[in-house]
Amino acid sequence: MDEFRDVSVVRLRDGVRTTDRDLAATEEPLEIRLHGRAFAVVMRTPGADRELAAGFLFSERVLTGADDLAAIERCPHPSAEHPDNILDVTLAGGREAALDELLSHRRQVMTNASCGMCGRLTIEAVRADTPAIDSRIGVAAATLGALPSRLREAQGVFDRTGGLHAAGLFTADGGLEDAAEDIGRHNAVDKVIGRRLLGRALPLSDRLLCVSGRTSFEIVQKAALAGIPVVAAVSAPTTLAIDLAAHVGVTLVGFVRDGGFNVYTHPARVR
């Protein structure tokens, strides 16, 4: 399934109407099942679906690490209408034994592109589940200021469609290690973190996360669960994002543009 497709448009420029073709970012539902039982439906851009599912389940605390995961497979039933949009996750060890409890503590919902905290019952539960970060990482101001432009260089689908957000994982000196695009910032973050979970590379206590757009509560929550101590964005954070970052020890940076930025929490990490 492609990340974008060709569509017909009518363009109006300077009073002139023309018929043309354009590229639009793909939005499709991804149903995530646990042992064949429906758990959540996530609206996403196809691509890196296994990583997205792993990162999503990690942020939902269904998975606490790679050892909790036995398999992630496409729907095997030939009668399924859209098997490419269904993933069945098999848990391992104690998580499999706790399947009924896991399902009972979460509600099945459909998320949209702007909502990432989709399965948790209360904000208080998320706060309680998110450990405080203790990282001695230091980041130069010039390094932070350059993150959005380096992330932008990795947004190939955005160049074609103009319709996707991105998340990038960086080293402390600003090297881009991984990036993902999606209609939702939180999905892009899940893809990046999920890839690291599948590679048994968590926690990420010496890495930086940069996201396009604003920073919301769920972005900070996902980063904190992965151990990421610094989150930067080109736009503003929400009040809940600021409160959670302060609570869990994340350095939250916003409005990173034109060589400047605002540091909202834990500024000591910025040199």
What are the catalytic residues? 115
Q: Is 7 helix (H, G, I), strand (E, B) or coil?
A: strand
According to DSSP, residue 193 is labeled H
Mutual orientation of helices 49-59 and 217-225 as an angle, nearest 10°? 90
Cis peptide, bond prior to residue 203, ω within 30 of zero: yes
CA 185 to chain centre: 5
Backbone φ and ψ of 175, nearest 5°: -80, 130
Burial 182-212 (b: 16+ CB within 10 A, else e): bbbbbbbbbbbbbbbbbeebbbbeebbbbbb
Residue linked to tokens 């009518």 = 10
Q: Of 18, 21, 20, 26, nearest to 6 (Cα)?
A: 21
137, 269 contact by CB (below 8 A): yes
21, 8 contact by CB (below 8 A): yes
Q: In a 10 Å sphere around its CB, with 0-12 CB exposed, 13-18 middle and 19+ buried, how is residue 224 labelled?
A: buried
